[in-house]
A and B are shown apart, each in its own frame.
Chain A
Amino acid sequence: MTAPPPTNDTQSASLSDGHAHPSAPDVAQEPARPNGGIEAAHKTQLPLRLALRQQHVPKSRTVDITERFTKACSALKTGQLVKDEYFTLFESISAIEIMDPKMDSGMLQPGETLEDDYDVMRPLLPEELIGIIDQLLCFEMAWHQGYPLSQTLFTSIYIDRLLASNPRTIDDAQFTQKDAPETETPFLDILRAYCLGVIKSCDLVIAKVQSTDYYEEEDFVTQTFNRSLFPNLPVEDFVEMLDYTMDKVDSLPSEVNDSIRMAIKDRLYFRRQLLLALYLDLPPSELAGSWEPVLDSVNGMAVSAQLGQSVQSAFSTKIQRRLASTVPPRPIVELSFRDAVAQLKNIINDCSYASRLAAIPKLPAEYESFLWAFAARTPAPLCYPRAYMARILMDEEMQTPPSIPFADFETLVFPPHSPITDPADWHPVAEGSTSSPLSKARIARCLDLFTEQAGGPLYEYWTALCQNKCRLRRMLTRVVRTWDKLQTQAQAADLEIESALGDSDHREPCNPLSLWVQCKKTFMLEQIVLLGFETNIHLPGEYALMYTFLARIISRRARIIQPIIDSYGPVLRNLEAAEDTQKLDDVKERLRHIETLLHLAKGTSALAKALGDFYVVLASLDLIPRITLYEKSDEFNENQYQLRMRPFLGLGAEDNDEDIVPPLPSFNGKITRCLLRIRDPDEDIWSEIEDQVRIARVEISKVKAAGAGAVWASGVKEEWEKGVDGLLKSCVLLGLGIATFKDALKKADIEEFGWQWLKRLGVRVEVPEVGSAWRYLEGWRVPRIVRVEEKDGK
């Protein structure tokens, strides 16, 4: 790969002019130059039977062409470029300019040396050892945050020395290549062991991140600058080495005091535990508990950090000059030890949380709730914990028989023991099978095919859930399109099932698979809108529009769930008639789940509707800022509307339902109505909004009473309950706001419209910002109505 180092020989310098004088004797030394470009004279001199004497291995020599090249260049016209026809100017933008101090990482300032004069073999003080180890941890965390290794860990001269010779084994990795005399201070050996542990940790992290199917370099840089981080050595070797080193700490000279001894041991122990926790090949069920020891060891380290003494000279940006790099030199990333420990704890907690997935009930719906809860964690999990989550999710152990898509639609749309999905009924001659064997086989084949088709979209959806919020939102807008296509396949499958069933008396929901796809799809759409609020994409001026739209999507989902519930009626009656209590209980239990889903959809839809309407009122009174998105006419501009609705446009055309995106709603009528009637607090507009709030409260309370298990969120009970409480609180806050507003209207002595009028109303609207105590749920922004004292109004 590496070209041979250049020689300074100029033996063939005289050849450079060869082309110009075809008759010159040294031309003969320029035979069949493969690149061509030699005058015809050369070609004519080629002997006919060249192959006889020719060796087919090319040799190479260096020819000085400075003069000729310079002369040729000067003959070019200004602005004329001689270039490779496939080389574009666009490409040239990424080229590094040599000798430009901002871009050229290899450029030395006058008097500057390439190497640092830091002596890695100098004896270390124990305090310095602790200082360096802690600094390494800071860099490791900065790397986790998304900085490249070149700006973080690879600035360590110690790590550079260990890796510079491209070691294959632990023994090969030494600070110095020579057989150095045995050092008197054992601290260097300890540092070496720790550094090797750090290097292997990086290797394990990179391996895990790269093993997931989707990750972005903008979140995390896996580039190792051509350095090998012992990918082939087993973790056990490093753990053993650290164990051995920990034993050596005990035999340190007696002048090293106990607290320092403990501090060093804590650090080695932490690294050991971390390596074990990062270990790749454990099945998910054995992961639980692997992070607690790491967390425990971190606490010890945080306490003893003050014993350390920092050694700034052991880190240098100069190392970047020797790393294979196509980017300009960048400064060292500074991260304080306190921040690093906080970051480390977040990583540990997130991973530990992710490992809980193995313990929750094995149901796809439960997994999905878990993934949503994981995605909602604050601070947002870093790349590694996400990769860790994804790996657990995709593990074979997490499979739900017979397959994940099957188990998912079976739970959501079919009553338990449905003859369509019951495997017992699949056998052509199963006893008690009610339909003909032939049609059973047809249905089974059809479900099989659909399961296969649904696998991809479902997998994409879950992959998106392992990303950070902004990317999750963007990816969902794409995933929804895949689901839209799946809808067509679901419809085909539904038709097939229906024709196979013939006129048998199973009253399954009509088009069950389409219902499943629609249900999933609308849920994703809701989440796209809500994530838009969470990530502050929607501006206050748009709230009215977006909440109204959200209400529309959610109520659509309620309409999809309804026929599923309706289909339970005949099933229950049949079972009651047959007095099959076991099955009856199963069906009733499942029905409770689906009903809870419906309550949730009805409740949230009512809340969204009420919010949307209230925002229309507030916007009409100029109580929330009208931003540029509103044109003078107070109307949303058609183009901007199309832009905002782009993720949703064209969806749902096959639903035999109306398009998901409504035509641009005109708030004008509503706003005028508001302005005319709003002064009367007993006006319909208020009772409409209040009714919605009431419905929301009633429905969500039902959901809360049913509990997390009822919506398949028992794995994340705590988070789920917090979420439902947040919804209820949002309802209360909204109700309160409306009451305050109405009260102000009643009290105000209003005679005319306009600013005067508003001032006399004596209220102010606050939209809770991120982190506000009033923002109970990130996606639900309930405006607060605050009374303004008379003096504030002036």
Chain B
Amino acid sequence: MATALDNTSSQVSVENAEATSYLEDLIGSELRIHTSDNRVFGGVLKCTDKDRNVILGVTYEYREPSAEAIRKAVEESGNPTAPVNWISRFVGLVVVPGEHIRKIELQEKYYGSGYA
């Protein structure tokens, strides 16, 4: 019994150590967080916790152009794939509560085309 418990707890601590190390590595990298209201926040990961609350620094808020704006752009250009800019603004330091996070993306930087 005791061994089983020890196993579970050691398993938990191993999992925790792995998770911590993974998340610690992500600190300082650029994330894009999609929220439940279809906005995207791009910023640098500062802090996170068990509830997946995320604090981003130097954050920009991006918002999809409205359907109206897309329709106008298409109409004006006559091109059904006309580019429409996302609406962006600087918002600084933000907390995104875990419950509102829909998707997390990592902005990776790499050099060259790889060695493959």
Chain B contacts of A108 at CB under 8 A? Answer: 37
Contact B87 A322 (CB under 8 A): yes
Mask of A46-63 contacts with B, CB within 8 angstroms, 1/0: 110010011111111111
Q: Which residues from 20 to 52 on chain B have a C-beta closer than 8 Å to any C-beta of chain A?
A: 20-30, 32, 35-37, 39-42, 45-52
A70 to B103, CA, bound (A): 10
B97 CB within 8 Å of chain A: yes
Contact B16 A65 (CB under 8 A): no
Report the minimal beta-carbon distance from B57 to chain A, rounded to whole angstroms.
8
Nearest-CB residue, chain B, relative to A87: B46
Contact B93 A55 (CB under 8 A): no
Contact A50 B49 (CB under 8 A): no
B108 CB within 8 Å of chain A: yes
Chain A contacts of B50 at CB under 8 A? Answer: 73-74, 76-80
A50 to B112, CA, bound (A): 10
Nearest-CB residue, chain A, relative to B50: A76
B80 CB within 8 Å of chain A: no
Mask of B82-103 contacts with A, CB within 8 angstroms, 1/0: 0001111111111111101101
Contact A322 to B114, CB < 8 A, known contacts A58-B109, A60-B108, A98-B97: no
Looking at B40, B42, B115, which has the most chain A CB atoms within 10 Å of its CB?
A: B115
A79 to B111, CA, bound (A): 37
Chain A, interface residues (CB within 8 Å), range: 35 or more
A31 in complex: contacting residue of B24, B52, B115, CB < 8 Å: B115
Q: Is the interface of A mostly helix, strand, loop or mixed?
A: loop
Contact B110 A97 (CB under 8 A): no
Contact B20 A64 (CB under 8 A): no
Contact A68 B22 (CB under 8 A): yes
A91 CB within 8 Å of chain B: yes
Mask of A428-467 contacts with B, CB within 8 angstroms, 1/0: 0000000000000000000000000000000000000000
Contact A33 B110 (CB under 8 A): yes
A94 CB within 8 Å of chain B: yes
A78 to B51, CA, bound (A): 8
Contact A46 B115 (CB under 8 A): yes
Contact A64 to B104, CB < 8 A, known contacts A33-B110, A46-B115, A58-B110: yes
Chain B contacts of A326 at CB under 8 A? Answer: 90-93
Contact A324 B52 (CB under 8 A): no
Report the minimal beta-carbon distance from A555 to chain B, rounded to whole angstroms.
55
Report the minimal beta-carbon distance from A155 to chain B, rounded to whole angstroms.
16
Contact A56 to B111, CB < 8 A, known contacts A84-B46, A98-B35: yes
Contact A325 B91 (CB under 8 A): yes
Contact A98 to B94, CB < 8 A, known contacts A70-B52, A78-B50: yes
19 of the cross-chain contacts (CB-CB < 8 Å) are: A30-B110, A53-B112, A54-B111, A59-B109, A59-B110, A61-B108, A62-B105, A66-B101, A66-B105, A73-B52, A73-B98, A75-B20, A80-B20, A82-B23, A87-B47, A106-B89, A107-B37, A178-B76, A325-B91
A35-B109, A64-B106, A324-B91 given; 9 more Cβ-contact pairs under 8 Å: A58-B111, A60-B109, A72-B22, A82-B47, A87-B47, A92-B46, A108-B37, A323-B89, A325-B91
